[in-house]
């Protein structure tokens, strides 16, 4: 995974166009969140604000498809790198919600 720069343990921050952005990095917590969704390969997940893609990866490992909607184009290279090994993720670049 690419990292954007730590400001404290397990969390990184991004741009503040709409408000503060923070990205969860702790792989254990990310796995627990995805597991709690009880996904199967027949499920499609809509993720609003994938950020750096850390949770997106965990969701893609469990679901048949993940549709991730992101507004911050500065994250495009990070998402491209972090999600490159998955063919079941579609990133949609959208406007502010």
pLDDT of residue 52: 93
Model confidence band, residue 6 (pLDDT cutoffs 50, 70, 90): very low
pLDDT of residue 88: 98
pTM (two decimals): 0.78
90 contacts 67 by C-beta, under 8 angstroms: yes
Helix (H) or strand (E) holding 12: strand 11-13
In the predicted structure, residue 48 carries a pLDDT above the cut 60: yes
In the predicted structure, residue 7 carries a pLDDT above the cut 70: no
Sign (positive/negative) of CA torsion 29, 61, 36, 94? Answer: positive
pLDDT of residue 23: 81
In the predicted structure, residue 4 carries a pLDDT above the cut 60: no
**pLDDT average, residue stretch 30-58:** 96
Distances (CA, A) of 52 to 27, 38, 41, 85: 13, 22, 23, 15
Is domain 9-93 classified as CATH 3.40.50.150? yes
């Amino acid at each position: 995974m690419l990292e954007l720069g730590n400001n404290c343990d397990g969390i990184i921050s991004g741009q503040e166009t709409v408000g503060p952005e923070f990205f969860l990095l702790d792989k254990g917590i990310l796995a627990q969140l995805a597991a709690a969704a009880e996904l199967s390969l027949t499920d499609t997940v809509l993720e609003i604000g994938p950020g750096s893609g850390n949770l997106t990866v965990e969701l893609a490992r469990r679901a048949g498809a993940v549709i991730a909607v992101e507004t911050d184009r500065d994250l495009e290279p990070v998402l491209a790198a972090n999600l490159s090994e998955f063919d079941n993720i579609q990133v949609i670049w959208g406007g502010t919600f």
